[in-house]
Structure 1
Amino acid sequence: MASKDRIQKLKDDTRCNILAASLNIVKEEGWSSLSMRKIADKIDYTAPIIYEYFNNKEALLKELTRIGYIKLANEIEEARDKFTDAAEQLEAMWMAYWNFAFKEKELYQIMFGIEANCCVGNPCSEVQRASNLLWDKIEEIVPADKRTEEYIDTKYYTFWSVVHGLVSINMTRQLAAGNNEQQWGKDINKQVLKDALEGIISSIRR
């Protein structure tokens, strides 16, 4: 490997280590405990090295937010591709959203401001990719006589309100219970979500 490539790889690895350390701190202590000094201590770097990669904490949070949206969009896309029927795809995509929220709890919190300040100035392209995948699939199942931008927007936010609302309720309860993971993903919650998704899809297709 050429010297220039080795240097770039070292920089990339250092950046990944900083981001991984940030998430580890949040998992152990919560978002309110995250600081540039703690990150440096976590991976035995000096604080100036951290600032070489991220100018401030807000820049670090923006990058974690961007990563979160990329992961969310990828999982939504993967869920869609497991089915061929549009309605089944749409339900699977929203279920993937639900699963992502609990699998990547810390990222979801910073993406949507649950127990953490939502990062201002989210990267538009990554945010839009996830929402566009869902919006486009809703458009696909809407009958031609209803297919207006306003109608599809309304249904998109109906879906999102239900899914995000249920996620938020469960996360808040889980935090109040002292990180008792058994609060997460119980069958009853998934059944409530599934019933709601099926109901909205049915109302669109009528």
Structure 2
Amino acid sequence: MNTPEQVPSRREREREEMRRLIIDAAQRLFVTEGYESTTIRRIADAVEYTPGAIYSYFKDKDAILYAIHQAGFGELQQRFVAAIGAAHTPVEQLAQLGEAYISFARANPELYHLMFVAQATSRTLHEAASWPEGKAVYDSLRALVQVAVQDGWIRPGDPEVIAFLLWSAVHGAVTLQICDRCMVLPESHRDAAVMPAYQYLLDTLVLPRSGGPPASAASPAPSSSVAPEPRRRRSLPEQ
């Protein structure tokens, strides 16, 4: 027998709304005034509450920044899961991850800035073990690269290095765009060059295929009279 979902009480809803209000105000201030320059009192003024009220929700400024990162990387991971499910081959999935990353950054420029660009000295974010949301996003990319390497879709190499290369490329391109640093490009390319640049890099890693895995020195190429075995779709290892 299924247990009906418990409806949050009005007090719980009000607390969640207030928590969201604090996070949104802090996010804007961290971006416009800098993490180091923003104080709890400044955040309290922005939401028209006392500093004591802020401390009843968050123990310090680090905790607010961590909550911002949790929400941001949680949303990005959801986009990654949807992107992987929408494609069939590892190469297509890697392309879709790039699209998901770019669309997230464009839709959430302030949040993206805090997640990847701003230099914040949050102690909480320095340890991967205490940052599962951020680690899950990177692990999705690394696991997919590992499958692509093992199954012969992309050139042999260290999956860690390849994953970092792809991440660095898409991050750098979209960061330049949302920070308005693409003015040196022709106007026709300023908004349109990000995904093609990532796709071009990905294409340089892809091995030529003719319906099956590329031939290697250890396994001779199949005879032209024998049709290659169709690829089976592989799913990512569970996180």
TM-score tier after normalising by the smaller chain length: 0.7 to 0.9
Q: Are residue 117 (structure 1) and residue 124 (structure 2) matched?
A: no
Note the C-alpha offset of 1:125.
1.3
Per the alignment, residue 102 of structure 1 pairs with: 106
Residues 146, 95 of structure 1: CA spacing in aligned structure 2 closer, same or farther, 3 A cutoff? Answer: closer
Per the alignment, residue 195 of structure 1 pairs with: 200
Structure 2: how far apart are the matches of 1:198 and 1:163?
A: 14
Which residue, out of 113, 131, 140, partners 2:138?
A: 131
Note the C-alpha offset of 1:160.
1.5
CA deviation digits over 1:149-201, x for unaligned, max 9?
Answer: x7211211111121222233334444x98xxxx99961123322221222234
SS of 1:186 mapped into structure 2: coil
Note the C-alpha offset of 1:31.
3.2
Residues 74, 10 of structure 1: CA spacing in aligned structure 2 closer, same or farther, 3 A cutoff? Answer: same
Per the alignment, residue 166 of structure 1 pairs with: 173
Per the alignment, residue 150 of structure 2 pairs with: 143
Note the C-alpha offset of 1:106.
2.0
SS of 1:53 mapped into structure 2: coil
Structure 1's unaligned 5+ residue stretches are none
Structure 2: how far apart are the matches of 1:184 and 1:11?
A: 45
Which residue, out of 8, 26, 33, partners 1:22?
A: 26
Residues 109, 157 of structure 1: CA spacing in aligned structure 2 closer, same or farther, 3 A cutoff? Answer: same
Per the alignment, residue 3 of structure 2 pairs with: none
CA deviation digits over 1:23-53, x for unaligned, max 9?
Answer: 34456x3535643223222222112101111
Is the contact made by 1:76 and 1:94 (CA closer than 8 Å) also made in structure 2? no
Structure 1: how far apart are the matches of 2:188 and 2:179?
A: 10
Residues 170, 146 of structure 1: CA spacing in aligned structure 2 closer, same or farther, 3 A cutoff? Answer: closer
After superposing the two structures, state which structure 1 stretch, 138-147 or 86-95, moved more: 138-147
Structure 2: how far apart are the matches of 1:41 and 1:185?
A: 38
Is the contact made by 2:39 and 2:61 (CA closer than 8 Å) also made in structure 1? yes
Q: How many residues align?
A: 194
Q: Which protein is bigger by CA-based radius of gyration?
A: 2
Is the contact made by 1:110 and 1:118 (CA closer than 8 Å) also made in structure 2? no
Which residue, out of 80, 84, 91, partners 2:88?
A: 84
Is the contact made by 1:109 and 1:116 (CA closer than 8 Å) also made in structure 2? no
Is the contact made by 1:73 and 1:129 (CA closer than 8 Å) also made in structure 2? yes
Moved over 6 A (4+): 182-185
Note the C-alpha offset of 1:61.
0.8
